[in-house]
Structure 1
Amino acid sequence: MIFKVFYQENLQEVPVREATKSLYMEADSVQAVRAKLADRNYNIEFVQSVTGSHLEYEQQSEDFELETR
């Protein structure tokens, strides 16, 4: 399953919409995504499952890079 993760790079700062970044990760569940990213100290705002036509749309973006670790 592929998830889109919305996050802030700095855990110590107040989240600001303009500074929100995203990444795509392959994992079995939302909990697995959060566990894989725990060592990065990101302020994770939201984890969204991406499937079907939504996934096809996201894959067309030049920023689409799937993380599997």
Structure 2
Amino acid sequence: MIYKVYYQDSFDQVPVRENTHSLFIEADSVRDVRRKLAEKNYNIEFISPLTGAYLDYEQQKEDFKVETF
């Protein structure tokens, strides 16, 4: 399954909507996403599974790229 992860670059930053980044990652579960990103110093705000129409919508964007870790 593909997940969209909303995050801040560092735990040291105060979460601000304008500084929130996102990435797409393939994993078996939310726990697996967190395990794969554990080495990064990301302040993860939210993890959303992409399915159906939501996945189709995101795939149409030119910046859609599934990250591998």
* TM-score between both structures, scaled by the size of structure 1: 0.95
Aligned length: 69
The answer for unaligned runs of 5 or more in structure 2 is none
C-alpha deviation, 1:68, in angstroms: 3.1
Runs of 4+ in 1 over 2 A off after TM superposition: none
Cα drift, residue 13 of structure 1:
1.1
Residue in 1 aligned with 2:40? 40
In structure 1, stretches of 5+ residues that fail to align are none
In structure 1, how many angstroms separate the alpha carbons of the residues matched to 2:20 and 2:31?
20
C-alpha RMSD over aligned residues: 0.7
In structure 2, the residue matched to 1:19 is 19
Give identity over the alignment, percent: 61
1:58 matched to 2:54: no
Partner of 1:39, secondary structure, is coil
Report the structure, 1 or 2, having the larger helix content. 1
Q: TM-score, normalised by structure 2?
A: 0.95
